[in-house]
Amino acid sequence: MSALGLISSDSHIVEPPDLWTARMDRRLRERAPRVVREADGDWWYIDGKRSMSFLGVQTGDRFVKDATELIIVARFEHVRPAAHDPHAFVAENLRDGVVGSVLYPSEGLLAYGIPDSELCSAVMAAYNDFIAEFCAAEPRNLKGIALINVDDPQLAVRELERCRKLGLVGAMISVLPVADRSYDLPLYEPLWSAAVDLGMPLAMHVATGRAAASVDARQQGVTRVSPSAFYLQDHFVRKSLGEMIFSGVFERHPELRVGSVEHEVAWIPFFLAQMDYTYTDRPVRGDWHRFADPERLPSHFFRSQCFVSFQEDTLAMRMRDVVGVETLMWGSDYPHTESTFPGAGEVLGEILGGLPDGEGDAIVRENARALFGFDADLRAPA
């Protein structure tokens, strides 16, 4: 691993209870995310529907507790302070060898499940203001990712431009947009162009679909574990990336960068092989886009323009040459229950053991450093 320290391409903050009630326009404030104290714990509510409780209360516990002892309901006062204080965040992660962190939300992930598009956009804008201020407190070590609602691509472009001015370094888009607006449609061309012009990578994080928008935590998929929670985890990102690749989005925008975040990696070799097979060996259907270069295959555009953030995918390291080392970026997922904190070094030693130093450094530091604009000399204090 890099002697200069690790860069996490996927870390999180835990939003303070007043984030949205303090920042939202009065007209929408009552429908914005708010915290309700109930008998079993504190719960976020969005537009009258219960969302989820607080994360960041048992970071690292999975290493010392049985899974049956882990919890899914908590109170805000039990959240580790570093999850919502930028200076403490940096200090705590430095002790784990992490010198730089790309920040995603916690509750804010579920903003993509707000059916009302106006409310969805307003909630995201308020979060974007917050995370820009959070990162400005520690600008060398923290880089923020904006939340963007793509229901109206023109409005999405305006918010992307605003967020770039705020200092944010990338943006999340829904891993699955509304059903009649898939990413292969021309209406997104202004968004792809703006992302390139602004130098803003676009990320598709797990659990950010809008196609079946609902924030109700009482959904069966939230309240109980089923096989679909595992075999569908990467389904939506495959659909969206496949549509972008096959429709020529990456060919038309060769500097566009789009990533899969927290879907892990081992599904990708089969995904790439099936895309190439479909493109070369299956009948052309309708107005199916054909690449200008007859030698180009769908897998080329994935390896040259996509990035993949993962935590602990040991299987993927055996197939890294197929995925492309240049696409891979480790993330700690701090401070969530699944986080590698406080044992990032040990976890990565097991996952990356035996890899050439250059490949390991690319995965744990250099790929994320270059994509998100961290200083080349960023390192832990002596």
Q: What is the pLDDT of residues 51-94, one digit of tens each?
A: 999 999 999 999 999 999 999 999 999 999 999 999 999 999 99
In whole angstroms, give the CA distance from residue 208 to residue 127.
15
Question: Is the confidence at residue 380, as pLDDT, over 90?
Answer: no
336 found inside a domain: yes
Measured CA to CA in angstroms, residue 90 lies from 82, 136, 140, 286 at distances of: 8, 12, 10, 52
* Inside any domain, residue 246: yes
306, β-bridge pairs: 258
Asked if residue 298 belongs to a domain, the reply is yes
Specify the pLDDT at position 228: 45
Asked whether residue 214 carries a pLDDT value surpassing 70, the answer given is no
Is 311 within the bounds of a domain?
A: yes
What CATH number is associated with residue 316?
Answer: 3.20.20.140
H/E segment holding residue 238: helix 235-246
Please give the C-alpha separations between residue 208 and each of 77, 95, 108, 377, in angstroms, as whole numbers. 27, 31, 9, 34
Residue 248's closest CA among 291, 293, 282? 291
Boundaries of domain holding 238: 6-13+78-372
Inform me whether the pLDDT recorded for 7 exceeds 50. Answer: yes
How large is the C-alpha radius of gyration of the chain? 20
In-domain check, residue 111: yes
pLDDT(226) > 50: no
For strand 49-53 and strand 42-46, is the pairing parallel, antiparallel, or unpaired? antiparallel
Q: Which residue intervals of 137-204 are DSSP H helices?
A: 153-166, 189-198
Q: Which two tokens stand for residue 286?
A: 């309708």
Q: Among the listed ranges 57-71, 76-90, 228-242, 269-283, which one has the minimum average pLDDT value?
A: 228-242
Q: Express each pLDDT in 25-46 by its tens digit.
A: 999 999 999 999 999 999 999 9
Supply the pTM of this predicted model.
Answer: 0.95
At residue 222, does pLDDT exceed 50?
A: no
Q: How many of the other CB atoms lie within 10 Å of CB of 95?
A: 10
Is 224 contained in some domain?
yes
Rounded Cα–Cα distance for residues 143 and 168 (Å): 7
Domain count, the chain: 1
The residue ranking higher by pLDDT, 153 or 2, is 153
Confidence grade of residue 232 (pLDDT, cut at 50, 70, 90):
low
The band of 210, judged by pLDDT with boundaries at 50, 70 and 90, is confident
**Is residue 307 domain-resident?**
yes
In percent, the amount of the chain with pLDDT more than 70 equals 94
33 domain-assigned: no
Least confident of 73-77, 98-102, 211-215: 211-215
